[in-house]
Amino acid sequence: MVAEFRCLIALAIQYQYFSGDWDAMECVEEAIVLKTRPYGEKNAITSLFMGSYGRSAGFTRSGHTARMRAILQPGNRVHAHWRGRLAEHLGTVSCKLLRADATCLFADQERLTCLAAACAMVEATLPERVPYPVIFATLEALIWALITGQPGWEIAYVRWEMTLIAELGYSLDRRGQEEAVLRCSSPQPAYVLLRTGQVISMPRQGEEGWRLLSFLEESKANVTITPADIAHVLRLTSHFLRHYLFIRLPKARRDLAAQCGVVDAAE
């Protein structure tokens, strides 16, 4: 009986393997290209971000050819088909271009740097194959703001990065923030305690806090934001990314910080 049972199990596994009936290991969805790296002479490993499946990587045949490199630019919108025998396998991915967002920004180096930074941050921070629909939706909105030439893209990026950190479980604690800090008529600076992430009106003696403007609240859209304000927040998010998520900031993110006036983003 034991031998017959083992034989039946083996037949079932072989049937599953060769029949191709692996719906759970197949993803077909629109995606944002995050990164590609060469694999062999012509192939590539492509990392994508999908709303329902999260960050997923796969082997792309001929992905390093001239035609496919143009399609697989970070930030481009593609129709992706990922398939793998097992969930933990690398899998294969094929992509069809839907919208060449990166190409649209080639003439605007500052916005292109912002797009590259956002894609690099998703690649560096998110675990693989875990859906983050809020991060995906806000990244879509950021990319749309970049390619349509909307003003204030620096503020949009900072807000998106704060959302990224919050979705990963490190949102700011505003319970101790003074009401006066949030008044539209008096845009006072707030401070974030680096040890706890708590937002307060003024750090107490002996506590280390970084300045944070209340423009991060959606209701503060009428507050005038300066380049120095944006640099302050980028330093703040850099601190939490390094000390709580334990990541080294990607080069594209450091380039964006330098572009926004942060003297040394690695510090």
- Is residue 69 a contact partner of residue 12, using CB atoms and an 8 Å limit? no
The H or E element containing residue 123 is: helix 109-125
Q: What is the reported pTM?
A: 0.77
The string of pLDDT tens digits covering residues 106-125 is 999 999 999 999 999 999 99
- pLDDT, mean over the chain: 78
d(CA 57, CA 133): 18
Residues above pLDDT 70, as percent of the chain: 69
d(CA 123, CA 48): 9
The H or E element containing residue 228 is: helix 227-243
Domain with CATH 2.40.50.140 in the chain: 25-103
d(CA 104, CA 94): 22
Q: What is the pLDDT of residue 11?
A: 37
Q: What is the pLDDT of residue 71?
A: 95
Q: Is 247 helix (H, G, I), strand (E, B) or coil?
A: coil
Weakly modelled stretches of the chain, pLDDT under 50: 1-24, 176-187, 206-209, 213-221, 265-267
d(CA 260, CA 232): 10
- Is residue 168 a contact partner of residue 245, using CB atoms and an 8 Å limit? yes
d(CA 19, CA 6): 20
Residues 25-103: name the CATH superfamily. Nucleic acid-binding proteins (2.40.50.140)
d(CA 45, CA 85): 17
The H or E element containing residue 96 is: strand 92-99
Q: What is the pLDDT of residue 172?
A: 63
d(CA 245, CA 124): 10
Q: Is 60 helix (H, G, I), strand (E, B) or coil?
A: strand
d(CA 188, CA 51): 37
The string of pLDDT tens digits covering residues 216-257 is 444 444 556 778 778 878 888 887 788 777 788 999 999 999
Residue 79 structure tokens:
């129709």
The amino acid occupying position 241 is: L
The string of pLDDT tens digits covering residues 176-186 is 443 333 332 33
Distance between start and end Cα atoms, the chain: 66
Q: What is the pLDDT of residue 215?
A: 46
Beta-ladder partners of 45: 37, 59
d(CA 112, CA 71): 16
Q: What is the pLDDT of residue 120?
A: 97
